[in-house]
Structure 1
Amino acid sequence: MDVRVERTRRALQEALFALARERPLDELTVADITLKAGVNRSSFYQHYADKETLLADALDAAAEQAGASLPRISEPLPGPPQALFDYLHHFDANAEVYRRVLGPHGSAIVMARLRARIEAIVRDGITASGAGVFEGMPLDVVGAGIAGSALGVIQAWLERDPRPPVETAAEWLWRVLLGPGDAWR
């Protein structure tokens, strides 16, 4: 990718991310974002169709920068993997932004992107594990169910006041994902 393109995208992402920490996304304008980023309005539209797509990219970039990736699980584990803790630490560090975008007046684009990422990891993990626990069920249905559960737990955790530590959220998420029968065993 062209260095100038990358620089402009990064400036826009950082500007929106900073503004989204301060106030709701629906109160932000493209003018606010471009002013904070130090670019003109036409530059914004050369890179992004709307501010929600920009926010989704900004959150992806922030997660990557934090080294937070969703874990790929292909075998039974005794507890939550470190990658899950890392990912939840990213959510915790950016809780105010995520509360806004995952909440009732949040971003459909960000939610869809998170859901799609989790669904893909679930499908890959189930395929790699060879576990027959979901045999006879379409993988997209299983992925959608697990992604919805994971996002629900994350959202409920972020909304708690005071918010429990990441370790608690990881345990809750792990228990919800494994279910009462511990599907891996």
Structure 2
Amino acid sequence: MAESTDDRVDARVERTRRALQQAALELARAGRFDDATVADITDAAGVNRSSYYQHYDDRDSLLADAIEAAEIEAAASAPTPTSVPAQLPPSMIAALRHFETDADLYRRLLGERGSPIVAARIRSRFEAQARAGVISSGTTAFEGLPIDIVAAGIAGSCLAVIQAWLELDPRPSIETAADWVWRVLVGPGEPISAPERDGAQSSR
């Protein structure tokens, strides 16, 4: 079946948005986004200035979209828990791996001089993951509490631990960070290993 004009337009619009987002992400990774002009962004994206303003009114929204796209891609293959997990869910392990890959960037984004819009969007995604996980697991541990309050508490705790972990030098492993996040969420007790480490041990 021949591609319609609308399909071609939609594909072109999406390519332009992705090019702008990728350019913003690369500039941010290099520590140059804060001082970058619209011309710097469009030159890096290979699009014209008018295309930028067709998609974005401000640079923070562009960077927030770029970060969101990268996080969604990083966690795309991680399933949502369907029961109360015995360890940190794969989606959170994927998030930790992504955060470590761009540790310098996330330290800036989540720090005092970071973008409030980007930080709020990151927190919102964590809350959405927490909400979905609690609902799908069927747990009664939070009975009587509004789900939004539960999700906000889980997201806030996770992000606080992750931010502190990213600031450490030397930085402990992802497995250690996963253990820290999990123990903060479930309370004191025996350390619980990340899925990758469990798999490695069981295969020996």
Residues 74-129 of structure 1, C-alpha deviation per residue, up to 9 Å, x if partnerless?
42333223332222111111112111111111111221112112212222222233
Structure 1 match to 2:24: 16
| Counterpart secondary structure, 1:27 | coil
Call closer, same or farther: CA 1:43–1:27 in 2, change over 3 Å.
same
Largest Rg, 1 or 2: 2
The one of 52, 57, 63 equivalent to 1:44 is 52
* 1:162 positional shift: 1.6
TM-score (norm 1): 0.87
State whether residues 84 and 139 of structure 2, in contact with CA within 8 Å, keep that contact through their aligned partners in structure 1: no
| Counterpart secondary structure, 1:76 | coil
- Is 1:73 aligned to 2:81, yes or no? yes
Task: Give aligned pairs, total.
Answer: 182
Call closer, same or farther: CA 1:62–1:128 in 2, change over 3 Å.
closer
Root mean square deviation of aligned Cα: 2.2
Structure 1 match to 2:127: 119
State whether residues 48 and 54 of structure 1, in contact with CA within 8 Å, keep that contact through their aligned partners in structure 2: yes
Residues 122-144 of structure 1, C-alpha deviation per residue, up to 9 Å, x if partnerless?
22222233322222222111111
> Mean Cα displacement is larger for which, 68-77 or 152-161?
68-77
Q: 1:33 & 1:77 partners in 2: Cα distance?
A: 42
Call closer, same or farther: CA 1:38–1:11 in 2, change over 3 Å.
same
> Mean Cα displacement is larger for which, 138-147 or 20-29?
20-29
| Counterpart secondary structure, 1:154 | helix
TM-score (norm 2): 0.79
The one of 114, 118, 125 equivalent to 1:106 is 114
- The percent identity for this pair of structures is 58
State whether residues 109 and 115 of structure 2, in contact with CA within 8 Å, keep that contact through their aligned partners in structure 1: yes
| Counterpart secondary structure, 2:87 | coil
- Is 1:86 aligned to 2:109, yes or no? no
